[in-house]
Amino acid sequence: MVSELPDTSRDSNPNPLSSPDVAVIGAGPIGLAIAWRCAARGLRVVVHDPDPGSGAAYAAAGMLAPVAEAYFGEHELTGLLTDSAARWPAFAAELAAAAGTDVGYRSEGTLMVGLTADDLAVARRLWAYQQGLGLPVIPLRPSELRDREPALSPRLRGGAYAGTDHQVDPRRLMSALRIATERAGGVLVPTPVQRLTEVTAGTTVVAAGCGSAALTGLPVRPVKGQVLRLRAPEAPGFQHVIRGFADGEQVYLVPRPDGEVVVGATSEERTDTMVTSGAVLRLLRAATDLVPEVAEYELVEALAGLRPGSPDNAPILGPLPGRPAVLAATGHHRHGIVLTPVTADLIADLIVTGTPDPLLAPFAPERLGPLAVEAELPAPVRGFPVTRSTPQEKSWN
């Protein structure tokens, strides 16, 4: 690892491709944010990825939800989510200034709702747990929900407000991170990395999503998620993120000012990226049960992506056992967007100082046991494959 900032006055080897201080494998939001943070500190940074941003971030809804995503048995992860969410306002502002483009950060908050009495009973158990952690969950009666969002169904039995659960547009985020990284001096190399031995750098950061498993032996598994994008005729008729239970089906609706509404998402222990009619049906039924007007919105996109999950669904952050110059920044599962700022800060600080922040300890690779030998099969680094129902231009093209 780099223990001190490089001497930026040296000109003997200005080409970062020949001997970078940091090589990042994977140009998703995690990899690019780490690269940006490192390059902004004066390090020579190279990012390897044949198709930047083509993975799970392209399909992601962009919810920044430390409260709604606080689940039983994930106390340490909840702490990391809360820390990272608190960094998001400053991170979004700094990134927008560095890239000269907005990232779609919105802070209206999230309404968590239950359609039926059974749905509400399940939701209340989770809200009670979240309140027990000291998280800001404000219970609301049906009338109070509709005062905040008249578009909500009058059938809702109750809900709660999570004011610190915000959102960002992942596609704008990816575009901004790429611009900021390149403006800071980072170099994107459009070639896949098949073996870690192909990379020569002071520090190598593996942020390759599901591809991290073959490169490192880490137990990162793909978790399939299907998501829809709708478009309202004008702006959506609601402003808050809506998360809820509808006849036992969990669903979220994320509105954007330009009329887009993201509806998702399934969570399937599968490795294919096929969009299925059953998933589309379930998501649309649940979404229209909670916000009836979305039945009149145009269905413009259906995607399936693969999240990088770990055995305990928490990220894997820090040096590989016995390989201090190889850092993992992967396994973020459904939390990749919200954890982008804290992951980038912690990994960049570790690279520069050589001293791990105590926040990293619960997420170190050692907790997962001995690693497998580096895989012999090629591991094309593409983040998480995405299947699209219609051809789409990448947001940075």
Q: Render pLDDT for 98-117 as a digit per residue (tens, 0 to 9).
A: 999 999 999 999 999 999 99
pLDDT digits (tens, 9 = 90+) for 261-279: 999 999 999 999 999 999 9
Beta strand 221-231 with 260-264: parallel, antiparallel or unpaired?
A: antiparallel
How far apart, in whole angstroms, are the C-alpha atoms of residue 210 and residue 76?
23
How far apart, in whole angstroms, are the C-alpha atoms of residue 223 and residue 213?
13
For residue 281, CA distances in Å to 59, 264, 302 come to: 18, 11, 11
How far apart, in whole angstroms, are the C-alpha atoms of residue 188 and residue 78?
33
Q: Give the mean model confidence (pLDDT) for residues 296-320.
A: 96
pLDDT digits (tens, 9 = 90+) for 21-48: 999 999 999 999 999 999 999 999 999 9
The conformation of residue 268, written as its DSSP 8-state character, comes to B
pLDDT of residue 371: 65
Residue 383 has pLDDT above 60, yes or no: no
The conformation of residue 106, written as its DSSP 8-state character, comes to B
How far apart, in whole angstroms, are the C-alpha atoms of residue 94 and residue 183?
13
How many other C-beta atoms are found inside a 10 Å radius of the C-beta of residue 372?
12
Against a cut of 0.85, is the pTM above it?
yes
| CATH of region 1-9+16-105+164-220+310-397 | 3.50.50.60
Is the Cβ–Cβ distance between 35 and 182 less than 8 Å? no
In this prediction, residue 369 has a pLDDT band, given cuts at 50, 70 and 90, of: confident
- Pick the more confident residue, 2 or 229: 229
How far apart, in whole angstroms, are the C-alpha atoms of residue 71 and residue 349?
29
pLDDT of residue 55: 81
- The percentage of the chain sitting over the pLDDT mark of 90, rounded to a whole number, equals 86
Sign of CA dihedral 122, 162, 74, 337: positive
What is the chain's mean pLDDT, rounded? 90
What beta strand segments (E) does the chain contain? Answer: 22-25, 45-48, 63-64, 110-114, 138-140, 158-162, 166-167, 187-189, 203-206, 221-231, 241-246, 249-255, 260-264, 298-309, 316-320, 323-330, 386-388
Q: Where in the chain is the domain with CATH 3.50.50.60?
A: 1-9+16-105+164-220+310-397
pLDDT of residue 154: 96
Q: Where in the chain is the domain with CATH 3.30.9.10?
A: 110-162+222-307
- Pick the more confident residue, 169 or 55: 169
The conformation of residue 371, written as its DSSP 8-state character, comes to P
pLDDT of residue 386: 39
Residue 3 has pLDDT above 90, yes or no: no
Residue 297 has pLDDT above 80, yes or no: yes
- The percentage of the chain sitting over the pLDDT mark of 70, rounded to a whole number, equals 89
Q: Give the mean model confidence (pLDDT) for residues 186-208.
A: 95
How far apart, in whole angstroms, are the C-alpha atoms of residue 314 and residue 39?
27
Overall CATH class of domain 110-162+222-307? alpha beta
pLDDT digits (tens, 9 = 90+) for 233-264: 989 999 999 999 999 999 999 999 999 999 99
pLDDT of residue 391: 29
